[in-house]
């Protein structure tokens, strides 16, 4: 399968962000790295904020794929599906160079990407909650819609919080999240 020009531009933007920092990424550097004209980069991506969003959304797709795989591996045990998805996401975050480049940039002046993961993360949260809600549908969950939405929101936000600022190993954190989810889901 051929990789599209857009995908090549996003790949190059991720590599440049990791290598030199987001503030140093320019459309000209991307064009040079990909081997296309600067106008082609603009045609494929649009503006630099559009490029930032494309990078973040692509990484989100990768994280959500981890969630889907975990749910597929535990079709009969929702708590284990939550544990496996939280652990998988946290392990993926641990090794994610783009995420590390964005989070570590807070120590310098290169913080333009950080709000896409924190204070302006509405689309990220909505997408993650939609995937989790969809994956919960086959399970027998004895919660009304409002409480189920609150439980999904809680799990997604707690996992995202630990992605941004880990406080333990992925396994231990996933165990804690699963413990909380079990109590909520079982009404304890």
73-100 pLDDT, tens digit each: 999 999 999 999 999 999 999 888 887 7
pLDDT at 182 over 60: yes
66-101: buried (b, 16+ CB within 10 Å) or exposed (e) per residue? bbeebbeebeeebbbbbbbbbbbbbebbeebebbeb
Q: Average pLDDT, whole number, for the chain?
A: 86
Q: What is the pLDDT of residue 122?
A: 73
Q: What average pLDDT does the segment 30-58 reach?
A: 90
DSSP state of 117: T
Find, among 52, 43, 63, 57, the residue nearest to 17 by Cα. Answer: 52
Q: Are 132 and 141 in contact (CB under 8 A)?
A: no
Find, among 184, 186, 182, the residue nearest to 80 by Cα. Answer: 182
pLDDT at 152 over 80: yes
Q: What is the pLDDT of residue 107?
A: 40
The share of the chain scoring above pLDDT 90, in percent, equals 52
Q: What is the pLDDT of residue 53?
A: 83
The Cβ of residue 140 has, within 10 Å, a number of other Cβ atoms equal to 5
Q: What is the pLDDT of residue 178?
A: 96
pLDDT at 64 over 80: yes
Q: What is the pLDDT of residue 108?
A: 46
pLDDT at 106 over 50: no
- Going by pLDDT thresholds of 50, 70 and 90, the confidence category of residue 40 is very high
Q: Are 131 and 170 in contact (CB under 8 A)?
A: no
């Amino acid at each position: 399968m051929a990789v599209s020009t857009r995908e090549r531009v996003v790949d190059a933007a991720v590599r440049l962000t990791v290598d030199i920092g987001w503030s140093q990424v320019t459309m000209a550097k991307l064009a040079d790295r990909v081997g296309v004209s600067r106008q082609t980069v603009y045609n494929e991506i649009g503006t630099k904020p559009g490029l930032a969003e494309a990078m973040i959304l692509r990484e989100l797709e990768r994280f959500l794929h981890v969630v889907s795989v975990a749910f597929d591996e535990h079709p009969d045990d929702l708590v284990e599906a939550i544990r496996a998805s939280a652990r998988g996401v946290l392990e993926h975050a641990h090794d994610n160079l783009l995420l590390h480049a964005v989070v570590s940039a807070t120590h310098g002046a290169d913080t333009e990407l950080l709000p896409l993961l924190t204070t302006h993360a509405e689309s990220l949260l909505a997408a993650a909650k939609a995937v989790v809600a969809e994956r919960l549908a086959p399970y027998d969950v004895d919660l009304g819609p409002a409480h189920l939405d609150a439980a999904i929101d809680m799990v997604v936000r707690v996992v995202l919080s630990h992605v941004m600022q880990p406080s333990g190993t992925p396994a231990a954190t996933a165990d804690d999240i699963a413990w909380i989810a079990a109590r909520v889901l079982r009404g304890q």
